[in-house]
Amino acid sequence: MTYSAAQNRYESMPYRRVGRSGLKLPIISLGLWHNFGDDKRFDEQSAILRRAFDLGVTHFDLANNYGPPDGTAETNFGRHLAQDFKPYRDELVISSKAGHRMWPGPYGDGGSRKYLLSSLDQSLERMGLDYVDIFYSHRPDPDTPLEETMGALDQAVRSGKALYAGISSYSPEQTIEAARILKELGTPLLIHQPHYSMFDRWTEDGQPNLFQALEQVGAGSIAFSPLAQGLLTNRYLNGIPENSRATKGRFLSESAITEPILERIHGLNDIAEQRGQTLAQMAIAWLLRDQPVGTPVTSALIGASSVKQLEDSLAAVNNLEFSTEEMTAIDKFAAEPGGNFRA
């Protein structure tokens, strides 16, 4: 069936400006880290993407190694673009990244100019695109000078193969230095993508902390893993279900779900219920709150394995306000600022 986007798709989703740029992102974006490789039926992927766009999600986030197997999320997304979203390309923000191992040998990993630009060409070919809106250095590479990595991002933008440059998982100090190099090259740093959740608050630590660093350099932020790999949902309230992420052990292990962690999850779930939200909705809303220091998170990057899960997460936009009492209660069960409970 031919897809035609909902006429009211921009009526319910708020959008935030990214740092001091002219670009706006939906406050909730869809990541294709999971559920868009060859292990997920194509029609199920299509239903999720269509519903997301109908609800105002204009930003789809990918990386070269998303799958499984590596690269298939971009290949599948390219098929979805051709099938459904080609008429809407100028309404979409599409991002990709490179930095983790993608192919064998010395040139398929890291932050070298050769790897990053070769990977970008491959990503564009897989997706059938002339350019991505944002191209990220997926992680800092201690074996490559930062000047080379940022030079590759600058070249990607100058070549027209990316509109903006981003970084992911860089420390505050690395972020400030990366932004300085990019500014001197004439390509501003647009955005940083850190892992951040109630259970993972490293971004709030240090002087400056990451949010202060981003405010200093004029860049935005998009937080990945806002639900702590599913811990901040109702999935584990009554034990570990079969086929959950914890049973697969790749990004979340069963051993990480301890009694103290479960007590914290139950405590947070009680607060969410009092707010009229699911735990997942509250966890996303908490990310998007005003920060005590620094700028608010520009966008929360969610995953979705079904349309129902997507809709549940997007409903977080209906209540983003927190009272002082709620914040105090949440802090009792969440990680301390700067701390984490990551598996």
Angstrom distance (rounded) from CA 43 to CA 35:
12
Using an 8 Å Cβ cutoff, are 221 and 297 in contact? Answer: yes
Tell me: the pLDDT tens digits for 32-48?
A: 999 999 999 999 999 99
Please provide the DSSP assignment of 143-203 as one string: TS-HHHHHHHHHHHHHTTSEEEEEEES--HHHHHHHHHHHHHHT--EEEEE-B-BTTB-GG
Domain ranges for the chain: 15-233+283-320
pLDDT of residue 340: 77
pLDDT of residue 170: 98
pTM reported for the whole predicted model: 0.94
96-100, 234-238, 282-286: segment of lowest average pLDDT: 234-238
β-pair type (15-17, 24-26): antiparallel
Angstrom distance (rounded) from CA 135 to CA 151:
13
- In the predicted structure, residue 253 carries a pLDDT above the cut 70: no
Q: Which of 169, 166, 188, 5 is nearest to 92 (CA)?
A: 5
User: Using the 8-state DSSP alphabet, how is residue 291 labeled?
Assistant: P
Average pLDDT over residues 246-268: 75
> Percentage of residues in the chain with pLDDT exceeding 70?
94
Tell me: the pLDDT tens digits for 155-206?
A: 999 999 999 999 999 999 999 999 999 999 999 999 999 999 999 999 999 9
pLDDT of residue 339: 77
pLDDT of residue 248: 54
Sign of CA dihedral 288, 23, 55, 129: negative
**CATH architecture, range 15-233+283-320:** Alpha-Beta Barrel (3.20)
Tell me: the pLDDT tens digits for 300-328?
A: 999 999 999 999 999 999 999 999 999 99
pLDDT of residue 343: 44
Q: Which of 141, 109, 123, 28 is nearest to 66 (CA)?
A: 123
Angstrom distance (rounded) from CA 138 to CA 124:
16
Tell me: the pLDDT tens digits for 101-133?
A: 999 999 999 999 999 999 999 999 999 999 999
- Paired tokens of 41: 């039926």
Average pLDDT over residues 239-266: 70
- In the predicted structure, residue 292 carries a pLDDT above the cut 80: no
Alpha helices (H) along the chain: 42-54, 72-80, 113-127, 146-158, 172-185, 210-217, 245-248, 259-274, 279-287, 307-314, 324-333
